[in-house]
Chain A
Amino acid sequence: MQFIQLVISGLAQGCIYGLIALGFVLIYKATETVNFAQGELLMIGGFAGLFAATTLGMPYWAVIIVAMVVTALIGFLNERIILRPILGQSAVAIVMVTIGFGYMARGLVTMIPVIGTDTHSLPVPFRGEVFRFGGLVISAEHIVIIAVTVVLCGLLAALFRYTKIGIAMQAMSQNQLAAYYMGIPVKRLSSLIWAISAAVAAIAGILLAPLTFIHANMGFIGIKAFPAAVIGGFTSLPGAIVGGLIIGVVESLAGFYLMEGFKDAAPFLVVLAMLVLKPNGLFGERLAKKV
C-alpha cells in the first residue's frame, strides 16, 4: 500500500518534470536548441499566477490562463529579440544565451520589491483536501496535477495531429530547409513554438505551486527535467512525459527506500545509465551524421 502511495506521489511530481521536459523537447525538435531557461519560465508563470490570484483576485481557472498568456508572451519575445539574431550559431552560444536569460529572469524577479527572496503560496481551491480510496490517501493537488497533465497532453497531441499549424510544425522539425521551401513560415513558427513551450512551463509552475510554494529559485527544478527529456529521447513528446514519470517515480522511491542523499542523485544516476546504455533514449530517433 505504501508502495502505491509513493508511486502516485512520484507520478504527480513526474508530471511536473514531464511538462518541463515537454518544453525542452518542443523547442529542441523545432529549432535544435536547448532552452536552459525553461525552469525560469516556470518560475515566471508561477509569479504571474500569483499576481493574478492575490492582487487581482481571479478564480483558479483564470489564474492558469493569465499565467499561460503572460509567460507565452515572454517566451515569444525571448525568441524574437534574443534568439533570432544568433540562429545558426554554435549550440554553445545558444545555450549560453538561454542561461543568461535565466539568470536575468531570476535576478529581476528578486528586484520586484514585494517579491524579493520570500516564498509565497498560491491560493488554490483544493488546498489540503484528500481523497481516500480503500487504504490510499491521495491529496487533491496530486490528482489535479495528473489530470491537467493528461488533458494538456491530449490538447498538444491534437494540435500536432489535426491542425494546420501543428502539421507545419512537424514538417519544420523534420527538415527546416525543406519546410521553408514549401512555404512554411519557419521563423514565425519557431516564435510560436517558444510561446507554446513557455505556456506549458507556466502550467507546470501553477501546478507545482501548491507543492513547493513560489519563489525566485523554483526554476532550478528545470535541472532535474533534463534527465526526463534525455530518457525520453529528446525528440519525442510522449517520451518527455514518460521520462518525467520515470524520474518522478524513481526519485520518490529512492527517497523512501534508499539512504538519505539518493533522492537528489537518483534522477542523474538514471540518466547516466541511460546515456551509457542507450544514448538515444527510449523513444528517440537514431541520429547519424551524413558526411
Chain B
Amino acid sequence: MRFIFKTRYEQDIELFQHGGQVFWYGLLMAVLLVAPLFVSAYVLTQLSQACIYAIVALGLMLLAGFTGQLSLGHAAFMAVGAYTQGVLVTAGVPFFVGIAAAALFAAVVGIIVGLPALRVKGLYLGIATLAFGTIIEEIIARAEHVTGGNAGLMVPPVSLFGWRFADGPSFYYLCLAFALAATLIVINLLRSPTGRAFVAIRDSEISAQSMGVNLAFYKTLSFAISAAFAGVAGALYAHNIRFLSPDQFTVVQSIELVMMVVIGGLGSVHGAIYGAAFLIALPQVINAAKPMLPTFLAEATGLQPTVFGAVLILVVLFEPLGIYGAWLKTRAYFDLFPFYRKGMFRRQKAFQKSDRLK
C-alpha cells in the first residue's frame, strides 16, 4: 500500500501521482510504440481502430460518464466527422485542415443536438439524440451529390506534408498520437473548473445550479466537446476504413458506443480506454473460440450480439463500474492483503429516485 504524503499544492494537479504510475504508463507507452515491429498488419489495423474508438469513448465518457447526459446518437457525430473529412480530403484540402473542420462541424451539430438537453433530460434526452441520429443518417443517405449516398464514398489515405500515411505503422502512430492527445485533453479538462462543473451537473442539476453553474452553457459545451471528439475519431475512421456508407453509422452503432463506455466503466477515463479495447478485442476472442464451439453455435450470426448482451447484463448487475471497477477491486485486494473485505466496495442501498415529485 502506497501512501502519498503531499507537501505542495502542485502535487494535487500533477499528471502522475507517484513514481509507480510514471513507470507503468511509461511501459504501456513503450509497448504501444514498439508494437508495429512485432505484430501483423491485421493486428495493427485493429490497434488503430482501438485508438479511434478510444477517442470516441473519451468524448462519450465526458458526456455520459461525467456530465450525466445520455446520448444514443454518437455514431451520427462520427458520421459527420467522417464525411466532412472524406469530402474535404477528396477535394484536396490538407489533412489537418480537414480534421479541424471535421471536429468543428461535428461540434456545431453537437450543439444543435444538445439544445433539447436544455429542456428534457434522462431518457427523453436519449430518445431525442436517437431521433437526431436517425435523421442525420437519413440526410447522409439522401445527400447523394455530396456524400455518395448509399453507394458510399471512397476516402484517400492520409497525406501530410507530402508524406503518404498509407502503410499500417505510420497511420497507427497517427491514431496513437491523436488518442494520447485526447486522453490528455480529457484529463486536464476534468480537473479544470469546466470539468468540475460537468461532474456537478451529473451529480445533481439542482445543486449545481444553486452553486452558480450555468446549466445551459455547460450542457451544450459538453455536447460540443463530446461531438468534436467523435468527429475527430470519425475523420480517422474514414482514413482507416477508406470507404464510407451510411449503414456504418446507424442507431445500432450508437448503442454499441454507449455499451462500450458502460462496459469499460462509467465515470472513469480508464474506463473509456478499457471499453474501446474491449469492443475491438471481443470479436477477435469470439473468432478464436469458434473452432471449439459446436457448429450450429459457431455459424450463427447472432453469436456476437449474444455475447455482447450477456457481458453488458453481467457488468451492470455485478460490476457497475465496469472493467475499471473490477481492476480497482483486484488492486485493492492485493494492496490490502490479507485485510481486504468483501463489503469494501458494496453498493449503497439505493432507493429509486423518482422524477415524479410534484
Contact = CB atoms under 8 A, between A and B. Distances in A.
B116 A272 contact: yes
A272 B302 contact: no
Interface in A103-124: 103-111, 113, 116-117
B299 to A, nearest CB: 9
A101 B314 CA distance: 11
Identify the interface centre among A89, A104, A234: most chain B CB within 10 Å of its CB. A104
The 3 A-B pairs of least Cβ separation, nearest first, read: A103-B309, A107-B306, A107-B302
15 contacts: A32-B356, A92-B64, A99-B259, A100-B310, A101-B313, A103-B305, A106-B302, A110-B301, A111-B303, A176-B352, A176-B354, A226-B131, A268-B132, A269-B135, A275-B127
Contacts of B296: 111, 113
Contact of A287 (B138, B266, B355): B355
B79 interface: no
Measured as residues with beta carbon below 8 angstroms from the partner, the interface class of chain A is 35 or more
Interface string A228-269: 001000100000000000000000000000001100110011
Nearest to B133: A268
Contacts of B132: 268, 272
Interface in B20-41: none
Interface string A60-100: 00000000000000000000001001111101110111011
Interface of B: 64, 70, 115-116, 119-120, 122-124, 126-128, 130-132, 134-135, 138-139, 141-142, 206, 251, 255, 258-259, 262, 266, 296-297, 300-313, 316-317, 320, 349-358
A290 interface: yes
Contact of B357 (A86, A234, A289): A289
A101 B305 CA distance: 10
B309 A102 contact: yes
A227 interface: yes
A86 B351 CA distance: 10
A23 B120 CA distance: 22
Interface of A: 32, 34, 82, 85-89, 91-93, 95-97, 99-111, 113, 116-117, 175-176, 216, 223, 226-227, 230, 234, 260-261, 264-265, 268-269, 271-272, 275-276, 279, 285-291
Nearest to A104: B309
Contact of A86 (B262, B302, B317): B317
Contact of B312 (A91, A99, A109, A269): A99
Contacts of B305: 103-104, 106-107
